[in-house]
A and B are shown apart, each in its own frame.
Chain A
Amino acid sequence: MNIIVTALIVLGCIAIISAVILYFVAKKFAVYEDPLIDQVAEVLPGANCGGCGYAGCRAFAENCVKTGKLERDYCPVGGTDVMKRVAALLGVEAQASEPKVAVLLCNGNRECRPKLTTYTGVKKCSIAHTTYAGETGCKFGCIGFGDCEVSCAFDALHIDAATGLPVIDEDKCTACGACVKACPKLLLQLRKKGPKNRKVYVACKNQDKGAVARKACSNACIGCSKCVKECPFEAITIENNVAYIDDTKCRLCRKCVAVCPTGAIHAVNFPVKKDENV
């Protein structure tokens, strides 16, 4: 009995002394943190994807509060809604930005781009890319081991087993840009989401001359410049034998799609025309 009482008294005393010390230490070394940081972090999506360029959502919040400006900072995942709320908290004007989505600039599926060799090394695009140009004749096309799929924190990207190419779920894609960084062939691009998700883009990056590109892949852009001549808005340019549609100039008229001889220009999410039996 005696022992228990002694123990209780001793431990109690230690507890009280420690509490007093801790109280004063906490007062003395207290770090002031702007409560605004917590509030901003609360508003942010909390996915820590790094799409804004900071280490995570909290780092983004800290930076916003520290600088008090939003000129360079933008959360691509939260989009304009979230940024408006952040701006309201900081008392500044919100930057308006078009919502974007990732698109794949390759349409070399298994049928049109035959496999010439078999790679037996580590199934990672980054490693395969440092070893050789790819299993097919096209050295610009998708490798298909899914580094982008692994990089996507939002489950928006999956490799299609039939085509061997990644497919992007536009509803889930937040345009954080992780896949753009992951692709060693630079085949993913963030483009304007467009009205009703409608987009027109050249799904090819093959810089070889027409004949060579066509031999490697029947869906390749051959740089024939038919689309350039057809475009009424001067949105299309050809550089290094491959066409590119500027999404800020494109008005989605789809005249280029009709003239493209290889089908490299993709128009997505448009309603099917009644006279077309597609």
Chain B
Amino acid sequence: MKTFSMGGVHPQDNKLSARKPFMVVDLPDVAIFPLEQHIGAPAKPIVAVGDKVKAGQMIAEAGGFVSAPVHSSVSGTVQKIATFTDGWGFDKMAIHIKVEGSEWMENISTDNKLRNECNLSSEEIIKKIADAGIVGLGGACFPTQVKLMPPKDMSVDTLIINAVECEPYLTHNHQLMLEKPAEVLMGVRILMKALNIKKAIIGIEANKMDAVKSLRDDESMNRQTGESISIEVVPLKLKYPQGGEKQLIEALTGRKVPNGGIPAAVGCVVQNVGTAFAVYEAVQLNKPLVEVMMTVTGPSVTNPGNFVVRIGTPIEKVLEMAGGIPEDTGKIIGGGPMMGKTYSHTNHPVNKRSSGLLLLPKDLAAPLEEKNCIRCGKCVQNCPMGLAPYLLATQGEMALWDDMEKEQVANCIECGCCTFTCPSNRPLLDYIRYGKQTVMANIRARASK
């Protein structure tokens, strides 16, 4: 079975909520829509206090080329446009809407009928995706329409769909492929049409063979005779971080993205499977990105499962659906255990970035005793980007930013393999991530001079 060549680890996958059908989370009383839910410029509000909005209505427009609009996921009245405290205690701007119901905009289709026809041109599709506020749902939240317009001098021939879900515990992508294979594949077809290419590869890790089968069956059933496009579903060997863009391209096509380059440089565009589904909804149903799929899980959670959540719902409400916060909880992590970040409180809304809630009990969340580096080289061996994490971490600790830049810290994908594998429990990634931020800021400062 295929996989990427350099580094990587295999944490126990702990997919506690696998094959649990999606449950819909109830509407909140007040929905909060942050203006920064994506990489790039924050969105600009286009509603005023007191305005009535419907579900699916745009409430903030894109604030630049790399930006995405925000839509209301509920119908109600705009209460205020003010700050809220995000999951880590910082103040961010948001639109607060008093929820009155779930009345959708007239042009949005809310029945579950599959719409398998798409006669729009590439430009029309990209415009629809941009207007729907779709961002990469794999975690980075990069606006999707920007990715669909690769630089003119690069020719793209392959669309890669990331359905790897290599993070331990998370299962919502798996469930999406089991429940909505036809919609996902239609989304893939639309993305191929937008890019004007004929080849797509869907990469799925081998612990989800039922999803591979579900997609393959649906693909062969819906294939029109004489169709010239090919959609291939490829199972991959279990290895983290296979969902990393560069790792996935290498695993599926054998191509290596050059140092500092984007996937389009080797003719690939990578989209998450969740994004493909969101694209289907946006283009075929006119439904903007107002719902996200989330996994709520943890060893002591009463009812771990997969949930469909309206953006703006407080995470407290989502946790309630999963049976509340268990007493022994030590940490609530937004996302998976490898790349997720611990929240400092639970009174903040679900946004486009939300992919999961992992509740770790105290014994698993307790920090391990940090010891000295024994120069075993495990971090170097397991780094999927071929860096020397032990060196970068020391440089970060000693604030040697220029040296870190020379050691290519900008290539770090922050996957956490180094910290995971370190026998001395050193917080390697903490130092490297901080160093990377400083180095990137230095590079930007130099460029703007």
A195 at the A/B interface (Cβ < 8 Å)? no
Given A116-B344, A116-B345, is A132 in contact with B88 using a C-beta cutoff of 8 Å? yes
Interface residues of B in 409-449 (CB under 8 A from A): 427, 430-431, 433-434, 437
Q: Is the CB of B90 within 8 A of A132?
A: yes
Whether a CB of chain B sits under 8 angstroms from the CB of A126 is yes
Q: Which of A122, A126, A130, A132 contacts B344 (CB 8 A)?
A: A132
Q: Is B89 an interface residue (CB 8 A)?
A: yes
Number of interface residues of A (CB under 8 A): 13
* CB atoms of B434 and A127 under 8 A apart: yes
Complex interface bits, A104-141 against B, C-beta within 8 A gives 1, otherwise 0: 00000000000011001110001100111110000100
Instruction: Please give the distance in Å from B202's CB to the nearest CB on chain A.
Output: 35
| B91–A130 CB distance below 8 A | no
- Cβ of B256 under 8 Å from chain A: no
Query: Number of residue pairs across A and B with beta carbons under 8 Å?
Result: 33
Is B378 located at the chain interface by the 8 A CB criterion?
no
Contact A132 B89 (CB under 8 A): yes
CB contact under 8 A between A130 and B437, given known A116-B344, A116-B345, A117-B344 = yes
Complex CA gap A121/B430 in Å reads 8
Pair A127/B431 contact, Cβ less than 8 Å:
yes
The answer to whether B88 and A133 touch across the interface, beta carbons within 8 angstroms, is yes
**A120 CB contact (under 8 Å) in B88, B367, B434:** B367
Q: Mark B66-96, 1 if CB is under 8 A from A, else 0.
A: 0000000000000000000000111100000
CB neighbours (8 Å) of A139 from chain B are 89-91
On chain A, the residues within 8 Å of B88 by CB distance are: 131-133
Chain A contact residues: over half helix, strand or loop, or mixed?
Answer: loop
**A133 & B431 in contact (Cβ 8 Å cutoff):** no
Give B396's nearest chain A residue, CB to CB: A127
Within 8 A of A (CB), among B351-389: 365-367
Closest to A139 in B: B89
Which residues of A have CB within 8 Å of B2?
A: none
Bound CA span A131–B88, Å: 7
Q: Contact partner of B431 among A116, A122, A131, CB < 8 A? A: A122
CB pair A133–B430 under 8 Å, yes or no, is no
CA gap between A134 and B434 in the complex, in Å:
17
Is B341 engaged at the interface, CB distance under 8 Å to the other chain?
yes
In angstroms, Cα B367 to Cα A122, docked, is 10
Chain A residues closer than 8 Å to B341, beta-carbon distance: 131
- From B89, B431, B437, contact of A134 by CB (8 A): B89
Residues of B within 8 A of A130 (CB): 433-434, 437
Q: Which residues of A contact B367 (CB under 8 A)?
A: 120
The residue from B345, B365, B430 contacting A122, defined by CB atoms under 8 A apart = B430
Chain B residues whose C-beta falls within 8 Å of the C-beta of A120 in the assembled complex = 365-367
Bound Cα distance from A134 to B344, whole angstroms: 9
Contact between chains at B90 and A126 (CB < 8 Å): no
The chain A residue with its CB closest to the CB of B89 is A133
- Complex Cα gap A134–B91 (Å): 13
The chain A residue sitting closest to B430, CB to CB, is: A122
With A121-B427, A122-B431, A127-B430: A133-B90 Cβ-Cβ less than 8 Å: yes
Closest to A134 in B: B89
In the bound complex, what is the Cα–Cα distance between A126 and B399 (angstroms)? 11
**Which residues on A sit within 8 Å (CB–CB) of B431?**
122, 127
Neighbouring A residues of B345 by C-beta, 8 Å = 116-117
Per-residue A-contact encoding for B131-160, CB less than 8 Å = 1, 0 else: 000000000000000000000000000000
Name the residue in A122, A126, A133, A139 with the highest tally of chain B Cβ atoms < 10 Å from its Cβ.
Answer: A122
Chain A residues with CB under 8 A of B430:
121-122, 127
Least CB separation from A137: chain B residue: B89
Residues of B286-322 whose CB lies within 8 A of A: none
Q: List 14 A-B contacts (CB under 8 A).
A: A116-B345, A117-B344, A120-B367, A121-B427, A122-B427, A127-B431, A127-B434, A130-B434, A130-B437, A132-B90, A132-B344, A133-B89, A133-B344, A139-B89
Give me the interface of B with A, judged by CB distance under 8 Å.
Answer: 88-91, 341, 344-345, 365-367, 427, 430-431, 433-434, 437
**Residues of chain A whose beta carbon lies under 8 Å from any beta carbon of chain B:** 116-117, 120-122, 126-127, 130-134, 139
Question: 6 tightest CB-CB pairs across the interface, nearest first?
Answer: A133-B89, A132-B88, A120-B367, A122-B430, A117-B344, A127-B434
